[in-house]
Structure 1
């Protein structure tokens, strides 16, 4: 990352720090000389994601659950910033089990937010979601125009935004939400029923199996490489909050985190196949299978990132082609 506006000489809590995004944040913050605390219950996170961090004297692992307020209080002790990544992701998971998704994503969020307020942290940055846009047909997506949510997961992530803004207005704690758009990259888990599309396709291609695309492959997403997300979190933590207070819009403390380009699933499959074929020529013979559309899926997602550029100084460096090259190389070497 060329941008030098980074978190340094600070104590930072990363909730969900054993997960895909969280562990990448943990490693980068440690590289920059910070003290880092990870709070994780390993429901979806992996201990091996913390192998590097556990060798660092500036790292502390708190094994606990954001649904337990005492764990939140213990983890945030003495911290300057909180980067809140802990959640139960996945639209299909939330449709199958809305109770647990709500318990974790809303109940746990409020407990962590209140613990941070009580501890007096400088800034609470949290993972919001592009699913909040719901059935809005506005394209590209701008922060202040959302539709009706299409899943319990989307409802929980929107509720986080409402709670965060209320805590800022009521208690004065500085909060910033980052609406992630389809993040991918190293350590994203290809296994399990709720695996994201990119690692799942990669694993299937490497096994010479035909991936299944839900629908006809024309659904599109603004795929966002992990390095762009790391940049956005750091900028959100250190930007002057006066810049945000001056905004007059409703979702003033929420920002899209994406690259700002749309790729459909057919294009994605072809890019992955091309990249992986360089490691194994047999992959070039694998073709896709088309299935039914998936409940709760939005057809298209494309972010307008002007607000993040103007207020945070966000400048994503990784387009999908560059990000997929990096990701495919990592999966080939580590799977």
Structure 2
């Protein structure tokens, strides 16, 4: 039996209090830990069967690390991950490996240039002892046809394919064992815009045809809006906001989400001209020494004293639907102009202080 979400849909993956810290060590002979990178720091998340969960955030916020923890590539420092109600250990078994696959960001780096495409796509069959010989070749060619590649190119090397075709090879490899969950780690960011659309549409078609569940990581918010049923916004190792995609894009509640959406591209030039751009001041803090309490407060236009002393809880605020969760003491209200508030903060930080000389 799988767990049941409170807001509907079977929970395929549940992340509970996930932490992933990378130690920084010094020393030549005897190394000792001097600090830690807080890549993922207390994340709670659910992925429902058949949906696409988008994860967005700035570079270094922990998206890819979280994805690798969910797939078992990185063991958690603390917390646990449940797949179909069963806890995933530090060394996942073969059943889990069959059910959870990953599509990597760089189609040039994720394929061995010295191996033929047929061997690359067929590796899962060999590793799991499912098919070999003529049967393996037949299955690989079926996969190639499924993702829009010519099955006759079975014996070609990756260098003989374009970037978009190489990513299709990665998709075919991920599909080989008919997994239940595929983690897409920025699968289109290295591709041209026209090719991005083809790969995204391919992924959506495959999801409908095979009943797949996706975790989709991307920087492009317009892409995430198009493919996702729900969206989780990450900032410096934590979830800042989590909601249905339509709800989050229409009514962002966290100031960080609001700033991200203000920078997203809009196809309609008239709408783009009306949008108020929020320019965040300051750099992203170091994950080695993150700010106390709310990690966004040093850059937040709504920050108050409470934000630097008490960490906000990821909850549904008054007026929000049950599954629109925001980790903010002072969430954004409808119609509130954060651009003006941010401009005021920037002006105050640059104006000289007037004083009386002695």
* TM > 0.5 fold call: no
More strand by share: 2
| Bigger Cα Rg | 2
More helix by share: 1
